[in-house]
Structure 1
Amino acid sequence: MKNEGRSESLYDDFEPYCEWKKQNGASILDEVDILEIHLQGFKKEDVKSEMRKDGMLYISGEHPMGKNQIKRFNKKIDVSKYEIKGIEAQFEGGKLQLRLPCTYPPITFLTIGMYPNYKALILRLSHKFVKGTTSSAMALALLLLLGVFMYKYLQCISIQN
C-alpha cells in the first residue's frame, strides 16, 4: 500500500548551542548557574521539558521549517547537584534560560579575602540536609555544639583581656 496523498516528514536533528554562566547572589552561598540554550526560530510551544527522578532534565523540541521539514533536538542535562525545587526556566527571544541554584554541603569552610589562613565556618541547613527526624536531630545537635563552642571561646577571650 502506498502513501497516497501523504508525504513523510523529514527531520533535521541538531545540537543547540549552550552557554553556561555563573551568577553570584547577595550571599556567597547564593550562587546560581545559568544555562542558556539557543533555539533560534523556536517558540515556547515547540519546547517540552521533563524532570526525572534520576536527577536528569530532558529538554526536547520540534519546529516546522517548511514543506514536510521539521527541525528537532533532544538535550539531557544532569541537574542532580542543584536545588531541584529552585530551578526556574524562561523562554524569550529564541533562548531558553535555566536558572539552577547551587547546593552546598550543610557545613562549608570558606577562605576569607586576603587571609588564606583564616577560615570561616559557615553553617547552612539546606532542605536536603534537614529532612526526616534523624537529620533534624543531627542539625539541632550540631547547632547546640556550635553554641557551646562559641560560649567557651568567648569565655577564653574575656579571661585573656
Structure 2
Amino acid sequence: METKPAAKDETCYEEFEPFCQWNKEEGHDILEVHLPGFKRQDIRVQINNWGILTISGKQPRVEETTSAIPSRFCKEIKISKHCTTNGIRAKFSHGILSITIPKEAQHGGVNAAWASANDYLVGLRSKVLKPRLSKKTAVMVVVVVLVMALGVYVVCRYPKSAS
C-alpha cells in the first residue's frame, strides 16, 4: 500500500473565536472585531443574499524556522431586516476590523404601527380608486362606448316607422 507525501500547501491552523463588540448608534451599528496579528489582506468580509455577514481570515504561513502555528477564524452574523446591506462598510486599522451597518429609517412605537397601517390603506385606496387598465383594454372600452353612442344616435335619429 502506497502513501502519498503530504501536499506542500497543507498547513495546520489554530482555529479561534475573535473578540467582537457591538456599538449601537442612532443611524447605524458598528461591529468591532479584534484581530491582533492580522493584516488587511488576510481578512475577508462578505454578505450573501440571505443577510448573513461572513467575516473570515487566516494568517499566512510563517517561515519553517518559527514554531508558531498560524491562526484562522470564520464568524457568521445574521444582519437585521432593518439594516441596509448595500451600505455596509468595513475598515481595518491597528488590529481592529470595524464594520459599519447602516439602519433603515424607522418610525417609533405606536406611531409606527399607525404609519404602516396608514401606508397600507393609502396603497389599498389607490388600487381601488385608480384601477390601471392596459392599452388594449382601454381601446376596447373606447370602441364599445363609441358603438353604443352610434347605436343611440341611429335609434333617435331614425325611429322605426309604425306600419
Q: TM-score if structure 1 supplies the norm length?
A: 0.58
State how far apart, in whole Å, the 1-side matches of 2:16 and 2:10 are: 19
Tell me the C-alpha RMSD between the 2 structures.
Answer: 3.5
State how far apart, in whole Å, the 2-side matches of 1:42 and 1:75 are: 15
**Does residue 1:71 correspond to 2:74, yes or no?**
no
**Which structure has greater helix proportion?**
2
The verdict on how the C-alpha distance between 1:89 and 1:104 changes in structure 2, with shifts beyond 3 A counting, is: same
Amino acid at match of 2:18: P
Partner of 2:33: 37
**Does residue 1:46 correspond to 2:45, yes or no?**
no
State how far apart, in whole Å, the 2-side matches of 1:120 and 1:48 are: 37
Task: State which structure, 1 or 2, has the greater radius of gyration over its C-alpha atoms.
Answer: 2
State how far apart, in whole Å, the 2-side matches of 1:77 and 1:5 are: 33
Q: How many Å apart are 1:50 and its aligned residue?
A: 1.9
Identity, in percent, stands at 34
Q: Deviation string for 1:127-153 (max 9, x for gaps)?
A: xxxxxxxx9x839x6xxxxxxxxxxxx
Could you tell me which runs of 5 or more consecutive residues in structure 2 were left unpaired when the two chains were aligned.
127-163
Alignment of 1:85-104 (within 5 A): 85-104=86-105
Partner of 2:5: 3
Runs of 4+ displaced beyond 6 Å:
119-124
Amino acid at match of 1:73: F
DSSP 3-state at the match of 2:14? strand
**Which structure has greater strand proportion?**
1
Q: Deviation string for 1:4-46 (max 9, x for gaps)?
A: 795852210000000001223xxxxxx2111000000101100
Does the Cα contact within 8 Å between 2:44 and 2:57 map onto a contact in 1?
yes
Q: TM-score if structure 2 supplies the norm length?
A: 0.57
Does the Cα contact within 8 Å between 2:45 and 2:55 map onto a contact in 1?
yes
Q: How many Å apart are 1:109 and its aligned residue?
A: 3.7
Amino acid at match of 2:46: E
Q: Which has the higher contact order (CA 8 A, sep 6+)?
A: 2
DSSP 3-state at the match of 1:45? helix
Partner of 2:123: 138
DSSP 3-state at the match of 2:104? coil
Amino acid at match of 2:32: E
Partner of 1:12: 14
State how far apart, in whole Å, the 2-side matches of 1:74 and 1:93 are: 20
Amino acid at match of 2:79: V
Does the Cα contact within 8 Å between 1:49 and 1:57 map onto a contact in 2?
yes
Does the Cα contact within 8 Å between 1:87 and 1:100 map onto a contact in 2?
yes
Does the Cα contact within 8 Å between 1:56 and 1:80 map onto a contact in 2?
no
Partner of 2:51: 55
Could you tell me which runs of 5 or more consecutive residues in structure 1 were left unpaired when the two chains were aligned.
25-30, 112-118, 125-134, 142-161
